[in-house]
Structure formats: structure tokens, C-alpha cells
């Protein structure tokens, strides 16, 4: 049987929330089952989100995270950890993927996730703010072997693995059965840490795999872009001066 995909999405209320969640839901609805969408909000679940999730037809769990965000660099971190807790405590078997609500995903990406045995990674396209152009971040591969990393941001050069949050997925069993996966530490996992911005992914991945030899480059040669992380919200100038945006554009 096809492997279950466990898609983890932190979300919060802002003008484009309904637009983002609908867009993601519509891709997930096209993915053959079994798919489980874990959507995590802060403090309380919103009725609008619950309504949207019910309408998608995708099996979902709607969770709340009670830990407060104390720093802007922690965007989504505690929510993803709440989902990891849920996956571990219920031993949900599948491929775990952190899919932020605002990214764009191809259907092919979700098909490819099912090929992952242990830990899969691939390059993600993003915009480099200072360079006004699209760049890649993530694996450079020879067939499915990861042999290097695309990285363009000076401040992040010291990272062990140059992977975006939306550029990797892993078998959930690594969370509770490290020995089977030959992880030397042998301790069960673990969470995303609240560390320096840009280092969250590598700090987490270093707990899942020892090195590149335990990674699977997804799609031969990692030569196809399957998702985009464009940070368009940070382009405030996109809105004409004086425009007013409501917090929630799901209803009038
Ligand atoms: N997020 C959240 N609460 C916040 C800020 C962000 O739930 O206060 C979610 C957001 O909906 C997205 C993810 O965390 O799914 C990453 O947020 P963002 O896109 O702002 O971070 P960036 O991609 O710029 O690092």
C-alpha cells in the first residue's frame, strides 16, 4: 500500500490566511490517499480554519499549540513541535513533511515524497532579497546521492546542511526508533530548537541523519524544482500605498 504522507502546517490569522490554506488544500486534495494534514494554530483553533479544513475532504487533525512565541525567529517552530509531539505520542506512521501555508507546491512533490525511505531532500527555489533574483537552496545530487549544497546567503554559510524547512521530509519512525535507523546517539527525538534564524532546519536535520550518505536526493540529480518559498509577504511595497487589509479575507 502507498505510504501515508503526514503534512504539517503551522498557520495563523492574517489577511491571506484563507487564500493560502485553500491553495494548499487544493493540492493536497489531489494527492492519492493516505494523506493526513496536521494543521496547528496558536492558542486556540479558529472556527474559520476548522470550516475550511472540513470542506477540503482531506483527512486532517486541527491542533493547538499553547507555547507562546517569544521571538519572531520562532515563526511556526512551537507549532511544528506540537505536531511532532502528536506524531510521536500516537506513533503515526508515514513520511513527515513541514509544509508552510504560504509556499507553492507541485503535485509531483507529494508523489515523490512516497519514494522516501528514511530522509529525502531536494532543492527549493526562493528569492534572494538583496539580489532581486530567484536562487536555489538545497541539495546538489549525483543521481540520488547528495554531493553538495546550493547556498547563497553569507550569514548561513556555517550551516551543516543547507536545507529549507520545505526542502526535506522523513520517515516518522526515526522519531521513536533511532536504533533501527542507525543513528549513533540512540536517543529518541526531539524537536525543532529555537535557534538562530536560518539554523533551525540544520539543527533538526542533524538529529535525524549523521551525514549526506543517509540522505536520499529526490528526483534524479535533484534537477527539478518542486516547490517555491518566495517570502512574498515581506514585500510590503506590493500593496499600493494607503490600501487597507482586513485580518481575514475569508468572509465579508
Ligand atoms: N506562522 C505562524 N505563526 C506566526 C508566524 C508564522 O503560524 O506567528 C506560520 C506561517 O503561517 C507559515 C510558517 O509559520 O506556515 C512560516 O512562517 P513565515 O512564512 O512567516 O516564515 P518564513 O517562511 O518567512 O520563514
Verify whether ligand 1 is closer than 6 Å to residue 171 (CB atom).
Answer: no
Which residues are known to be catalytic? Answer: 201
Report DSSP state, residue 11. Answer: -
Neighbours of 245 (CB within 10 A): 10
Distance CA 101, CA 118 (A): 24
Which range is most confident: 67-71, 83-87, 231-235, 244-248?
83-87
Q: Residue 11: CB within 6 Å of ligand 1?
A: yes
Q: 34 preceded by cis ω (within 30°)?
A: yes
pLDDT at 197 over 70: yes
Q: What share of the chain is helix, strand, coil (3-state, %, to 5)?
A: 30, 25, 45
List the strands of the sheet with 216-217, edge to edge: 60-65, 35-42, 5-10, 95-98, 168-171, 119-121, 216-217
Q: What is the pLDDT of residues 15-27, one digit of tens each?
A: 889 999 999 999 9
The residue whose C-alpha atom lies closest to atom 6 belonging to ligand 1 is 75
Mean pLDDT of the chain: 87
- pLDDT tens digits for range 55-106: 999 999 999 998 876 776 678 999 999 999 999 999 999 999 999 999 999 9
Are the beta carbons of 42 and 69 closer than 8 angstroms? yes
Please determine, for residue 152, whether its predicted confidence score (pLDDT) is greater than 80: no
Instruction: State the ipTM, two decimals.
Output: 0.97
Stretch 118-132: mean pLDDT: 83
Phi, psi values for residue 112, rounded to 5°: -65, -30
Amino acid at each position: 500500500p502507498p505510504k501515508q504522507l503526514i503534512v504539517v502546517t503551522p498557520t495563523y490569522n492574517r489577511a491571506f490566511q484563507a487564500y493560502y490554506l485553500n491553495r494548499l488544500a487544493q493540492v493536497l486534495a489531489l494527492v492519492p490517499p493516505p494523506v493526513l494534514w496536521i494543521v496547528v494554530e496558536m492558542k486556540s483553533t479558529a472556527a474559520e480554519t476548522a470550516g475550511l479544513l472540513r470542506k477540503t475532504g482531506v483527512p486532517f487533525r486541527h491542533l493547538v499549540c499553547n507555547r507562546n512565541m517569544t521571538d519572531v525567529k520562532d515563526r511556526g517552530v512551537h507549532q511544528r513541535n506540537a505536531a511532532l509531539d502528536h506524531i510521536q505520542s500516537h506513533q503515526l506512521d508515514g513520511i513527515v513533511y513541514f509544509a508552510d501555508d504560504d509556499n507553492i507546491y507541485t503535485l509531483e512533490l507529494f508523489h515523490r515524497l512516497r519514494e522516501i525511505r528514511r530522509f529525502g531532500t531536494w532543492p527549493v527555489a526562493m528569492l534572494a532579497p538583496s539580489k532581486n533574483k530567484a536562487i536555489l537552496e538545497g541539495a546538489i545530487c549525483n543521481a540520488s546521492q547528495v554531493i553538495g549544497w546550493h547556498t547563497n546567503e553569507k550569514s548561513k554559510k556555517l550551516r551543516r546542511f543547507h536545507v529549507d524547512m520545505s526542502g526535506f521530509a522523513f520517515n516518522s519512525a526515526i522519531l521513536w526508533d533511532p536504533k533501527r535507523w542507525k543513528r549513533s546517539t540512540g536517543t529518541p527525538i526531539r524537536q525543532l530548537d529555537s535557534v538562530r534564524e536560518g539554523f533551525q532546519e540544520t539543527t533538526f536535520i542533524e538529529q535525524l541523519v549523521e551525514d549526506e550518505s543517509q540522505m536520499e536526493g529526490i528526483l534524479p540529480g535533484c534537477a527539478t524544482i518542486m516547490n517555491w518559498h518566495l517570502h512574498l509577504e515581506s514585500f510590503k511595497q506590493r500593496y499600493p500605498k494607503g490600501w487597507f487589509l482586513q485580518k481575514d479575507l475569508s468572509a465579508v
